[in-house]
Structure 1
Amino acid sequence: MGRPRTPLLDRERITTTALELIDEKGEFSVPQMARRLGVQTGSVYHHVDGRGGVVELVRERVCAAIDSAAFDVEPWDAAMTAWARSYRAAFAAHPRAIPLLMTSPVRAPKVLEHYERAVRLLLGVGFAMAEVMTVITALENLVLGSALDLAAPETMWELPDDTTTPRLAEALAAVGTGRADAAFELALGAFIGHARALLDAKEA
């Protein structure tokens, strides 16, 4: 028999299968992946550095949707705003991956490059070295929390009737659709405004 035109197993197929399992179940295991791929578990390990290696492949795949050109936007606060919106959209597409990716160290070189650019941007406009990772981490917390919120039902409050919590009922009726987007833009604007004020205080 001739060799198959498409390799039975490669890193792309491994990544796709792992992300499919995560999107479905919120988790994955190498044996689960192997079964879905129709190969032996040991065959997967020929292509990746254990389960952690698969996690990093998934991280690279999800983060590939983040627009790195956002860092070329001027001024710096517009760049960070654009990055945050793109970051949120990338992770909102795979919300079940968030707990997995955010509780394991970042090792993927392409993802680390995003952080390097963010650090250089903030240092370049005057943030102190000791402040930079605090700013980036705070922004990530906002983005990832909002990505999870975006994946949640539009209405997260189910009232038995309008009489026991009438003002809440009115507020829910008034917010309309797009609550998650509006909340994200409010929080992002407040965050960028505070970061801008910190920088302005240094220059005063």
Structure 2
Amino acid sequence: MERCGWAGSEQIYKDYHDTEWGVPEYDSRALWEKLILDGFQAGLSWITILKKRDNFRAAFEGFDPDVIAGWGEVEVQRLLGNEGIIRHRGKIEATITNARAWQKVEQRVGFDRFMWDYVGGVPLQNAWATLADVPPKTPLSEQISKDLKKEGFKFCGPTIVYAWMQACGLINDHLVTCPQREECAAMARDV
């Protein structure tokens, strides 16, 4: 048994794969943080975001959507000057917009419940043999993306949503040869 090949050889990547990726996440704020980070990752490699994650957390006040929802141009300019994060105006502004959208969903039904209802509260279990078998998006990620956009979210296309679903454990996409596959599956049964 060996870990999924995308984890590479860098320790930070292997640790992320072994302890976070695919583990079911049920906290509304943490789910939102991961969606934002996956949006920042668009067009880049995940290792880039992973190496800057602590900088992102500091720059974005611990990814507290209630704080970020009140931000405006002053904070956008501050973040555009922060060399520790990805300085992309559209993604920064989308984070503020997404904080406001998160607040509405959180107040209405809870962002965690809103997202987990798509899979009936239990992670979907895939059985991919190779990385080439794993799709970049699915009809479900396309539907979630559409629904998020209706709620006012940005930078949440179906490929971003699929990567987010994998990261947050809504789906278990560890390869059948990966020891983490069974660990994540067992966590799903414990819910």
Q: Structure 2 length normalisation: TM-score?
A: 0.27
User: Which protein has the larger Cα radius of gyration, Structure 1 or Structure 2?
Assistant: 1
Q: Whose helix fraction is larger, Structure 1's or Structure 2's?
A: 1
TM-score (norm 1): 0.26
Structure with higher RCO (Cα < 8 A, 6+ apart): 2
